Amino acid sequence: MRTALICMTLAAALAMPGFAIAGEEGQRPAGAKRHWLGKAEVEAKVSAAGYTVKKIKNGIGRYEVKAKGRDGKTVLLYISPWTGEVLGEDRK
């Protein structure tokens, strides 16, 4: 009985950090790709923001979009897969 109680307590303690990470507001676990926007939707949002999309690929927990900026220079955009929001960019 005591061993079972210790095992259940240990299992619950190990599971808690996973729930806390997945439950942060505005964050979703990277493995939930079924909830990601499609590449066509991401392309539409990036184009609406004034970029010309050249290539879209899946990154780790984000989309990576190679595009041409408003100034005509190539830029690598990091896009939220759930909202299509630009998270960051690297200029070439």
pLDDT in tens, 40-81: 999 999 999 999 999 999 988 899 999 998 889 999 999 999
Band the pLDDT of 87: cuts 50, 70, 90: very high
The helix/strand/coil state of 61 is coil
What are the residue boundaries of the structural domains of the chain, listed by start? Answer: 2-91
pLDDT in tens, 9-44: 666 666 655 544 444 444 555 556 678 899 999 999
| Element housing 64 (H / E) | strand 63-68
